[in-house]
Structure 1
């Protein structure tokens, strides 16, 4: 069955006509803030405001969990149109999400989590993503649309003494709805402008007295927001389909086995950038963007205003992202005090891209693609014991990942003029760089095993001490083999080698090609044991007032560079740059969690301070020899700040919420950071040591000036994080009747704001993204049978930027822009049965 046919079937299955005669559920579903009750329960004002989470691998009231955690129910996600992790950031102020495409996706919490600006298979994420206890190692494999979600818990701070994979910044814990032994189902259809269409359907019920199943599917389709004038089509579209199934087998009253499987496909026309701006660099003037464009008479970008949402990229575009997997979850309640849990899972990821990495309509690079396949296997075993005045969790975790990337980079007929010095006669000969081809074989075998434990000891009925420990072993074996070939001056194809004396090394054409890219081979390896630990203290000041404090010593495992490394004077890869050291994290946190007004109101406040030594960052320096970008360690980074969350439900007729965060995340010491665009491209001054060089750096943007091999970024902000971020909203409802049915008329509003932030690994005057706010509205009528509402997102059509980056070469002065969504609007129909 073709994808188009499958999507059509799912949209039809979710259409209102199919379930027009369906039986209603038992109660209407109220929608509230991120502290809302779970679907199907009474509103908070009536049930005491208790929200149960499993953030610490056991059920407990979120107000008694001594860590910073945000909880969003499935009902809230549906009401606000939050159907993927990207949109979750509007509800969680300290969560940041950036995506050029699924593979080049980064998730940070409090400004830390993943190196910004470089995708590399050889490092770990600092933010763990779990769906039904299964760890998703690649962020690209977690960019699926949510379906049948019960709740999402976002935990801030290091996690590892309770979670399968060690993470230093936090974890996103997604729980889907379990199979039910009562027949139930729901269907949902949304339509909107930009040809937006989305359908969701879920059915659950018994197969026998001890077997129950749940089947869910979702499909999303939307026209692109960026128009390509060269091809006459809209790009940056949404085109995804996902199915998920689970089978619950109650083997006996104390033993449950749940088998789950899912398959997801995203295949949009994507991804490209529009022209953002021009910022002078230190390249000579005849090699900067205005001069380069002038070498191609008749060429001009379709618009210099990024908010016109126009581009003219000429290379093929593709972002096919397929992923799925199987899991088995066994829960054995040995007795009233002991429980054994086992989670076995396999996941795969198949990434098939096509990109235009020169961001122009000129054939500079015709291909820069890295198709990737991954297989991931995980096994987690947890033992929980509930004792008299204490409870204990012990766990074992095993992880193995195999990644194979077959990359290709190819230059076109415009490459000679664009990439070579125009004072050279070779720049006027398209044949010199045309069809310079790099075929990359990149491999990673990654194994991790760990043992962890957490104790909660009730010293008194008010004071609880919770120490935890983790022992971890990681082993990475990699291979990077890039074979570059080009046409020599005699018309033969030759390997472009960086090794002096190699065949055709002195050929002028080959020498020019070597300046763009040369062959390289190395096999990096890393292995290490690590220990981490934490201590949580919680004191119940009064019935609904808890204070807590946390110290955690965590780590993020070391990594290997799998995007190439600098070469020495003899052309050999410098293996000292092939591995990166583990991050060492000292994390302090203190907070207060309160409820008052008969638990109608909740207010939580958290302060945090995180120091990271050997922070894994993107660098570009000349301390080893050739200037090249790769992963390395910044000496020290700090993230500190505070977070506040408030929600109130004075009655079943009204609820509101507000969350805010101040985050001061900066490089404490980073003396060999990559130069920003305004200081790059000139004559590179010679490095005299790890963080020293000789000569005088020219003023920023000085054409033909002197550029540093690196800069001291100490004291500057980390990329991707706003100092201030807020989210807020409210909903009011009134009882009434529509279509002869009794229910609730309601209106809701949700807003978010973030201040300006740096979109470059080292802060640049050209890539500082301005702050912005987004405002969303919804209004409708709901009963136990149906929910009918209209919505408008980015209601005031705010122009904003998702991402800015320096164009090809990083020093031509071209700044490419990824523009955020314009105003969108539409309607949704939900049916329950």
Structure 2
């Protein structure tokens, strides 16, 4: 018996000894005036199902839960879902970095594919820029852990995050919310919908988020870590018949927050001590930053019969970013990077959903046509030059998929699925050296490059079949166990930073990576639906691992994207929700991940050979332990109003920010939140108070390691939010 099989068998036995477990956290707000936990419906398998029947690791969080716990944006998910990391990318305000079970992508440069897929109402968001979505007008968020390659396709080898917006109702509704808090925070969120006739309804939402910086740029005087975001969404629903519905939606987000620079964790070249405040900087590259993201979608549903539903999703999205990144975080341009990115994508998906007495399933085709492009300067004062890098990646992806579940008996079910994906990519990369600071593209003097390092266009195709299989069995009417296998696929591509002089093979691009994942789990409710316990185990073989490395050299910076890694990952996930009394509810989640490299090939610029350095490398953004605990108490008053109080504590163990250990690595830390929400008897008014990071813990969520005198020995860190206290007033009618 293999190591993986022995380990999974051990987890299964342990789960049976504990009695049972369920994978997913309850999506309905557990802090309600009820004796039992509410049933949950999710769409993790592209069709509506009771969460307890889904053999997939899912954490589903409702809008009520998110609001009750003061959640602001997607980064709060890492404290509510085990073995999950969701953060703002280093040097950014709204670029998403996501890892699940050790799998993700830290480098958000255009053309690089994420390892965790983000979906807004079943529309795949291909680019990470502007993807740290603020939570407004949302129905629920689902976190699907483990490879989702069959139903969700490419670039979901770690998992998927589904942001599900609020449906319109057959009655007019309106919501208004004002938030005022620390650092001059002042937010306004408005949303509503109304039917204009029996067959047509419209809705919309707008959100304005603003707060001052947590720190300052002591060189320019600008705010650091401030927020200036305007977001909006409009939608319409047309139902010409009872069996045919068309939904149209459009959204746009503009982020005008200042460029965010890091805090030097090392002394300046003159020997001065590091800045005392972790949110301060002395960066001189400039404070301008602008990110816009927008999209449109059309979803048509046709109920052909009681068993068959036909669904078509057409979508277009584009985005643009203009920013400045100061790697040295000093007034001088030791290592400054002004940059712009842009992208656009069109996607079309058609699904046929079947719901029979014993057979259920979905089959479909998916097509995407996308282009991601950008350019940046690397200004290096000590070398007296600027390195211009520009290029684009065009992707055409087509896939066919099916996923079927069959009830062999009332208790025994099997599910089989498969997807074949084909990506055709065209990569164009240009890299050149210019004398002086700033190339002509970024405002430097007009001149020819003195050295062209890279100038190519190349085409490659990548294809992969990603199957899924599971068997589930009801041990009792309330207890279900399952075993499953799934495969994930992340497409190959081209390194937009590649230097063809230092690394000639860069013109060939890099290959895909895959994950084979095995899971066991047990699901069940106890004590007449007053308790749900969760225990599951997973084992994954990670192959062809794409590793991004940037190495300072005497004449610039060498970049590599190699299929350098092979590894194995295994772990446990535990979740629990308990109705201790009618008013008192407890929630807990615990994640454990052990990820180890079996092979890590590093390119030696001197010998021009690959060397296996697996014993000196570690997984990035993958703490061994993630835990969260929330205790909620609902206090009813004589006038029928209620006060919902909750205290949340979360812990993340030591986290390595890069595969190579450095002073940027984050020791284990604990965060404490307190929340209070009063709701009127008629549900029209809410008043809340939210204290986040109550102990004012300082913790790193990203960084840049560029040692050496040429780059001013810069190890720069980016920190999570400090203690904030926010008051809210909401009106609903």
- TM-score, scaled to structure 1: 0.80
Alignment CA distance shift 1:34-1:44 (3 Å): farther
- For the residues of structure 1 that align with 2:350 and 2:390, how far apart are their CA atoms? 35
Contact kept, 8 Å, 2:291 with 2:322, in 1: the verdict is yes
Counterpart of 1:827 in structure 2 is 727
Show the 5 A alignment for 1:5-404: 35-36=25-26, 38=28, 43=32, 45-46=34-35, 49-98=38-87, 99-100=89-90, 101=92, 105-114=96-105, 116=106, 118-163=107-152, 165-277=154-266, 292-293=269-270, 300=272, 303-307=274-278, 309-365=279-335, 367-404=336-373
Shift of 1:656: 1.2
3-state secondary structure, aligned to 1:523: strand
* Residue number among 687, 692, 715 corresponding to 2:607 in the alignment: 687
* Residue number among 649, 660, 663 corresponding to 2:590 in the alignment: 660
Shift of 1:627: 7.6
* Residue number among 612, 617, 632 corresponding to 2:547 in the alignment: 617
Alignment CA distance shift 1:47-1:202 (3 Å): farther
The yes-or-no answer on 1:440 pairing with 2:389 is yes
3-state secondary structure, aligned to 2:366: strand
Contact kept, 8 Å, 1:37 with 1:43, in 2: the verdict is no
Counterpart of 2:14 in structure 1 is none
Counterpart of 2:654 in structure 1 is 756
3-state secondary structure, aligned to 1:355: strand
Counterpart of 2:637 in structure 1 is 736
Cα deviations by residue, 1:180-238 (Å, 9 ceiling, x for unpaired): 21111211111111001111111111011101121111111111112111122321111
Shift of 1:577: 5.6
The yes-or-no answer on 1:579 pairing with 2:476 is no
3-state secondary structure, aligned to 2:270: helix
The yes-or-no answer on 1:556 pairing with 2:490 is yes
Cα deviations by residue, 1:617-654 (Å, 9 ceiling, x for unpaired): 1135799x998222111240222100000011244412
* Residue range with higher mean Cα deviation, 663-672 or 768-777: 663-672
Contact kept, 8 Å, 2:586 with 2:631, in 1: the verdict is yes
Alignment CA distance shift 1:801-1:389 (3 Å): same
Shift of 1:42: 9.9
Counterpart of 1:429 in structure 2 is none
Alignment CA distance shift 1:794-1:627 (3 Å): closer
Shift of 1:753: 0.6
Contact kept, 8 Å, 2:418 with 2:466, in 1: the verdict is yes
Shift of 1:538: 0.9
Contact kept, 8 Å, 2:328 with 2:716, in 1: the verdict is no
Counterpart of 1:815 in structure 2 is 715
- For the residues of structure 2 that align with 1:576 and 1:374, how far apart are their CA atoms? 23
Cα deviations by residue, 1:686-706 (Å, 9 ceiling, x for unpaired): 427432xxxxxxxxxxxxxxx
- For the residues of structure 2 that align with 1:688 and 1:215, how far apart are their CA atoms? 57
Shift of 1:521: 1.0
- For the residues of structure 1 that align with 2:447 and 2:677, how far apart are their CA atoms? 67
Show the 5 A alignment for 1:377-526: 377-411=346-380, 415-416=381-382, 419=383, 433=384, 436-486=385-435, 495-498=448-451, 519-526=453-460
Contact kept, 8 Å, 1:275 with 1:306, in 2: the verdict is no
Structure 1: runs of 5+ lacking an equivalent: 1-32, 279-288, 295-299, 420-432, 499-517, 675-683, 692-710
- For the residues of structure 2 that align with 1:729 and 1:42, how far apart are their CA atoms? 11
Contact kept, 8 Å, 1:525 with 1:560, in 2: the verdict is no
- For the residues of structure 2 that align with 1:184 and 1:402, how far apart are their CA atoms? 39
Cα deviations by residue, 1:555-608 (Å, 9 ceiling, x for unpaired): 21111111123425xxxx613564111112211111111210111110111101
Alignment CA distance shift 1:811-1:465 (3 Å): farther
Shift of 1:38: 3.8
Contact kept, 8 Å, 1:348 with 1:375, in 2: the verdict is yes
* Residue number among 511, 531, 535 corresponding to 2:469 in the alignment: 535
Shift of 1:794: 0.8
Shift of 1:119: 3.6
- For the residues of structure 1 that align with 2:181 and 2:128, how far apart are their CA atoms? 28
Alignment CA distance shift 1:673-1:152 (3 Å): farther
Contact kept, 8 Å, 2:149 with 2:487, in 1: the verdict is no
- For the residues of structure 1 that align with 2:254 and 2:185, how far apart are their CA atoms? 17
- For the residues of structure 2 that align with 1:37 and 1:96, how far apart are their CA atoms? 20
* Residue number among 758, 761, 776 corresponding to 2:673 in the alignment: 776
Alignment CA distance shift 1:44-1:524 (3 Å): farther
* Residue number among 621, 643, 668 corresponding to 1:745 in the alignment: 643
- For the residues of structure 2 that align with 1:567 and 1:439, how far apart are their CA atoms? 15
Shift of 1:44: 8.6
Counterpart of 2:695 in structure 1 is 796
Aligned Cα root-mean-square deviation (Å):
2.6
Cα deviations by residue, 1:509-549 (Å, 9 ceiling, x for unpaired): xxxxxxxxx54212232202211101011111111111111
Contact kept, 8 Å, 2:315 with 2:346, in 1: the verdict is yes
Shift of 1:779: 2.0
Contact kept, 8 Å, 1:226 with 1:235, in 2: the verdict is yes
Cα deviations by residue, 1:4-59 (Å, 9 ceiling, x for unpaired): xxxxxxxxxxxxxxxxxxxxxxxxxxxxx9844547x9949456531111111111
3-state secondary structure, aligned to 1:139: coil
- TM-score, scaled to structure 2: 0.90
Alignment CA distance shift 1:256-1:38 (3 Å): farther
Cα deviations by residue, 1:218-276 (Å, 9 ceiling, x for unpaired): 11111111211112232111111111111111120001100000111111012101121
3-state secondary structure, aligned to 2:68: helix
- For the residues of structure 1 that align with 2:130 and 2:551, how far apart are their CA atoms? 32
Shift of 1:405: 1.2
Shift of 1:673: 6.9
The yes-or-no answer on 1:713 pairing with 2:608 is no
3-state secondary structure, aligned to 1:318: coil
- For the residues of structure 2 that align with 1:141 and 1:311, how far apart are their CA atoms? 23
Contact kept, 8 Å, 1:549 with 1:590, in 2: the verdict is yes
Shift of 1:112: 0.6
Contact kept, 8 Å, 2:495 with 2:506, in 1: the verdict is no
The yes-or-no answer on 1:786 pairing with 2:685 is yes
Cα deviations by residue, 1:422-454 (Å, 9 ceiling, x for unpaired): xxxxxxxxxxx1xx3444331111110000000
Contact kept, 8 Å, 2:674 with 2:694, in 1: the verdict is yes
Alignment CA distance shift 1:523-1:714 (3 Å): farther
Q: Which has the higher strand share?
A: 2
- For the residues of structure 1 that align with 2:561 and 2:277, how far apart are their CA atoms? 31
The yes-or-no answer on 1:725 pairing with 2:626 is yes
